[in-house]
Amino acid sequence: MISLDTLLSSNMVSSVVGAPINKFVAGASLNAMYGETYDEFGMTLDSLRYYFFLDALVRAGVTRGVTVDGVIVIGDKATAENSPFGARRYLYELGEEREVQTRRVIDTFGLQLRCVLMSSIVSNESFLSKKREYLAQCKTDSQLLSKLEQSVPVAKLVQERASAYSYSLDELTIIADKDIKIGPPREDVYDSLARALNCGQNDKSHGKLSSIYLTPTFPIGKGWSFFFANPQLDEMGVTAYKAGNLDLQNYRARLFSSQTIQDLRGLIEHTFMPRADNKNENCVSGSLPNPLLDLYQVAAFAAWHLGGEEPKFDVTFDREKLADAIIANVYKPLGCAK
């Protein structure tokens, strides 16, 4: 079993905020979440890295006598309502498909997680009451309102103001009562606001929200020159759970999609890889973008859940064997090999 200390100090983690480790006190009951939207290009392999990490957090809690309710929130409402009106029905239907696919991942690998659609939790009166409470707090505090508006893309700000910041407040209200949130570094814009607000902390025995940010996600199939020409990717990467982010859907490993095994092999073959000692092995440390490390981690966790060895973080791996490992431990068990 991977210990909590090992997990939080691993090379999967970019940073932690709010000292999540301090919440793992014997007898405690915690709730932890990871949320994602989606697009029409299929589930990314990168999403599984977050699923596996959240599951590992749940299991690490057991070793400390802590019960952790781990939930994946599929942002169907956020995806659909933030799109052109004509596409909304289609995107809600895709959300239902994503829920089925996510449950398949959970069942195939025996993950101790559950998944829910965002639309199933944002319309009950308790949720709406909290949402109104947070809006009132922001309206009476100019600094909070400023932080709220900073969470909105400039192109969407007029629309968000007209809707009383509905999109942003949905996100905020979902995470507000959680003890721990897993996500990419860019989501600190929401998490920091949740910590700044009085998000029901009087009835939370574990204090303000803690966040665990995994390392940025990078496209595959791109050479060193691509990263040199796009230095902004070093810090934030691409959106882990949306294959079409920055129109890079043809440079992402995708499940339940039109992508073939041969496509995957070609992408891995042409991916920039920081090398260890000038060998065809992946270096697991250093500051350079490392797209293949994420894929290795997914393959290693998948193999573990299928009865293999516990994942090791500080190891090198052979590019030539990586595609075979992903196909054998992820694509074939999920029925995605073609």
pLDDT 10s digits, 111-139: 999 999 999 999 899 999 999 999 999 98
Strand pairing of 13-17 and 210-214? Answer: antiparallel
State the Cα–Cα distance between residues 33 and 46, nearest whole angstrom. 16
State the Cα–Cα distance between residues 11 and 221, nearest whole angstrom. 22
In the chain the domains, ranked by start, together with CATH numbers, are 4-214 (3.40.50.620), 224-331 (no CATH)
What residue ranges of the chain have pLDDT lower than 70? 198-207, 275-288
Identify the pLDDT of residue 96: 97
State the Cα–Cα distance between residues 46 and 217, nearest whole angstrom. 7
Residue of 30, 10, 5, 7 lying closest to 314 (CA atoms): 10
State the Cα–Cα distance between residues 325 and 338, nearest whole angstrom. 15
Identify the pLDDT of residue 198: 62
pTM, rounded to two decimals: 0.93
Residue of 313, 302, 309, 41 lying closest to 324 (CA atoms): 302
Tokens of 275: 């090398």
pLDDT 10s digits, 313-333: 877 778 889 999 999 999 999
Identify the pLDDT of residue 97: 96
Give every CB contact of residue 132 below 8 A, 6+ residues apart in sequence.
none
In the chain the first and final C-alpha atoms are separated, in Å, by 33
